[in-house]
Structure 1
Amino acid sequence: MKILFALISTVLAGGVRYIFEVANGLKDKGHDVKIVALAGDHSWFKNLRAEVIYKPLNLNTFSSIVYAFYKFYRYVTLRSAKRNPYDTFLLISSKLGVRPDIIIELAELIRSFDSDVTVATYYLTAFSVWFSQNKNPFYLMQDFPELVEGNEGKLGLNMFYHSLKLPFSFITVSSYAKQLIVENNPTAKVTIAHPGVDLNIFRPRKANSQNQKYYGNIKGV
């Protein structure tokens, strides 16, 4: 099965890591898994077995000039001009409240892949997947209202609630998130897939005799 995950960015984040882990698991089961994104650098996640495809930002003349000045500024101040245009404009847009039409940009990228299943991973990507009209759309929903409003304001929050009403099959990470989806979309089919814990990384530490003695004294007091 050909499975496509749609992301705005692949920056280091817990939600993105979860998506990468799921993508690896599906790849191990023999599926053809691809990830499309507009920005980011996934090199922080070691051994990602799914292919990641980025779409360069289509800049108009004014935006190209602004971006050129920004790269020059970074080179002078940080001796580094390595930054993706989308990273730059997403950063600026978060401060100014405006952004390129990333929903349509991502929808066009998604449409270029003939996938059996297309998975939205954020409320903005939900609209991109919907506009792409790719078959079998899924929505992997990990967000909550306070986070969205803190990052995107009231407008983003309103769009977030609207994204939950789209006629997708939903996958989410908690019973709270499932309840949030059903409250906004009573007929939605929702599956909970808990992130889980990698026991090779998160495991009980060996007992430290000095710590045990210290805590024992505190408890005795």
Structure 2
Amino acid sequence: MVLHRTRSQEDVYATPVAATPYAAYPPDLAVQQLGQQVRHAGEQQALRLGSVQGAVGAQAQQTYEQLMALHQQQQVQAQAQMSMNQQLMAELAEQRQRQQELMDQLAAQIATAESHERGLRAAAASSVQQADAIDEMRRRTSARWHAFTSAAAPAQQVCSNQPGIQMIYGFQEVPKAPTFNGSTKVQKRRFMDHDLEDNKSSRCR
């Protein structure tokens, strides 16, 4: 090693015999250079860390925005579904009300039809009673008129001495019309036939 001393430098440099692959610097310059390298490496590391954090933050922000958008979309869908459910419930209530109104109208129509049917039955029964009363009145009127006409003139019937023929002189009282107490037309006919036979037999007595 050879030591050289210059006038402008107070430091002593030892130069080896063999050439070194890198230049030799004073200790303070080496320290400064090392510090700069360390600072540069730290800055690069900080930049990389900042870029990573920025990417992570951007990703997190994007994920948060996506979650918020999804949440808002779900809220909109839920509100739409709720509105649809309310509309369906209102339509169902309206249909039930219409069905109840139709059932009430049907019940009223059935009650009216039953009332009309009862009225028709009562009218038919009244018509039958009126027809029976008219028949009874006609029968009594006919019987009384027949009895009146048969007894209006003196009963002068000449009957010969032949069998079955008799002669009757005198007057005959007007008989009272018989009273019918039956309820059917067959009984009425039998009563009228019997009354007619009685009238015929009373003429030849």
- The TM tier, using the shorter chain, reads under 0.3
More helix by share: 2
Higher relative contact order (CA 8 A, sep 6+): 1
Q: Which has the larger radius of gyration?
A: 2
More strand by share: 1
- TM-score normalized by the length of structure 1: 0.15
